[in-house]
Structure 1
Amino acid sequence: MITSFYMPTRIVAGQGALGTIGTLARDLKMTRVLVVSDPVISAQGFHSEALAALSEAGLAVSRFDGCGIDARCSHIDEQGERVRREELDGVICIGGGSVMCTGKGIAIVATNRKPMRDCTGVGQFDTKALPMIMVPTTAGSGSEVSQWTIVKDEERHLKLLGGGPLSFPDATLLDPATLRSLPMHVAALPAVDALTHGVEAYLSGIASPLTDAVALAAVRHQHASLRASINADDDRAREENLMASCMANVACGNARLGHAHALSLPLEGHLDLPHPYGVGVLLPHTMAFNLAVLPAKVKPLAEALDVETVGLTRAEMIEASAEAIRALYADIGFPEMFTPEQLPRDRVREMATRAVPGLYAGIAAASYDPSTATDHTVIACPSARRMTVRQAEEIFERCLG
């Protein structure tokens, strides 16, 4: 099997990394930049310090602080036009996953001169995005090292993915100072998303020894640092968790994402469920589903989740791994099940059929007719095991208890 591994993003990590942002922007030949953020992050002290550092380095700074819980096509298209109109030459994102996806979309649209909707799918644009610097303020989506951006098409109630080698960020700054103001319940959401990235990369049907090594290390470090990073005032744990979430996306950026993301997509698009809730609740179930056909990967993943494997059968290791994730959820205040309001039981079948196009279909998902799906229709997904609509329905049911 031919494998490929590509990671062009420069990663600068550690205490004080944010202070290098001005120099880094100049190194990338930026002179007039759009700084993308949201109303909460833009009020933080570290955001002001970053703006000051950019100004001191001689850059002209424009701002967009209007990002919401999802990256939205309307914001991206409006700001992409603004970037062209004001002749800006760089995009700097300071925020969580939605901020970084918004900024990445702006950088794509600005140079390709077409709406974000038309840039979704795999490699659906021809011109390299504007130079980008990412400063994640959660640990995290991993979008800071990802070629992909996930956006919401408000008109069609779809969550769409777009990207390719032309949309990798040029650099990212991982500074634990950006995590200090996060409330516990807020920090838990992206942390679970990052754990999902590591696990799904490891269980991918296109995984390689390179992605396996990075994914397992990410899961191990995430599991070891998450509790202290979220529950305690521990900068060392925050630093480790930031690096682990970054590593997880390096892995899944090459090995792709799996069933938790594919099944979560319709919940996000049609039920407005926040992304981390969707993938996190699904993870223990989709992980067990795929491990059933990957016997050689059961023990290494269990050990990365700190399971004592001596004397356990493979089936017992799989169950213990799922329990380790649930125990972690309990300790960081993350839910194990969907509520009936989040996923109404009478819409389970519909959500299973809407999951069929998968995460990587892009705008082609808009032409898919869910009524054509049968129990045996397969969910489009690079995970190691094929999943049918009926199996997806069963997993949704288990997530409702």
Structure 2
Amino acid sequence: MNIFVINSGSSSIKYQLFRWPAEQPVCSGLVERVGSEQATISHKVFAEGVPTEQRLTLPLPDHEAGLHKVVHLLTDGVIQDPSDIDVVGHRVVHGGESFSQATPITPEVKAEIQRLFGLAPLHNPANYLGIEVAERVFPRARQVAVFDTAFHQTLPEKAFRYALPTALYTEQRIRRYGFHGTSHQYVAAQAAAYLGQPDARLITIHLGNGCSMAAVRGGQSLDTSMGFSPLAGLVMGTRSGDVDPSILLHLTGPLGYSPEQVNTLLNKESGMLGLAGSNDMRDISQALAAGDAAAQLAYDIYAYRIRQYIGAYAAVLNGLDAIIFTAGVGENDALVRQLVCQDIDFFGLVLAEAQNQQRQPGLRDLSAPGSRAKILVVPTNEELEIAQQCAALFASAS
């Protein structure tokens, strides 16, 4: 079964093709700057695990043009025809309370994704567009949506409800939803398998430009740092994470900010960008090495917030078997891991400093001898998780 996974962003398309049940992709790629005269495509084809990469720069006016170009690359030796694709799996960020698992896409499902545009305005419209385009480009394939929020539908009501009037939940569905669920689910499963503990008490720490954490026990999410939107929780690349709500009242009252200005401030001008002048941790790391005080403070605040959540989630789980770092920053930034794990031995976490500085592929155990809980780096693979869920969906239906 050929499963083609699409992660469609506002100006990008990330994709992988799996010849299931093989978990190594046949090819993968990234289309960037869609809508530009200088769009780029990075396309990799894997032969016995060894990639051959092709890079293109070309005008792509829209996502449909981008996906057609991807199909052209696929038919150049990977597949014969678009009809060879059996399943297209789509990452969709927000599924509200409607979806708790991978779901075949129907007109009703598409209408619900549209209805949720307001809850994920930066993501759901782009995800929806990817579905619309894929339906035209791959008319024979079965289309499946895998929702970032689905993994967190196991949160108990005491964790997902806010202390607001009940009507705001029952009528407006204002609650904690959580995001990055596909990543949290994947790395938690990998960690549990490594530990040999299906019921492991895990804290998963997804650190990219967007950041979130989850408390996971027995493969189920019990709490998560993002909330009604992807703005809450940790300090992120450009997002503030948790702030006192009265700050918003102060901004829109005495300071005269409009709601649009507040939205831009919190989502696009805050986080590491607001603290250190950049949302790229590599740039901030270089500034830190040069003695920049703002960069040092930004790193300290970033790590401090993560440690706060580790303490909270260890309490939620009533114990701890492992913490898991994943995504671009979590997998690659040794300083972040060091700052998070220092002075936290109360939880039985002791970092192996030498191993932490080494870069190696695959799952890494960075726990020092005597560490009662494991410190793991688990590379995330959301596309593989989506493919697994698509395959399981049709296996259960057959």
By relative contact order (CA 8 Å, sep 6+), the higher-ranking structure is 1
Structure 2-normalised TM-score?
0.30
Greater percentage in strand: 2
When normalised by structure 1's length, the TM-score is 0.30
Greater share of helix residues, 1 or 2?
Answer: 1
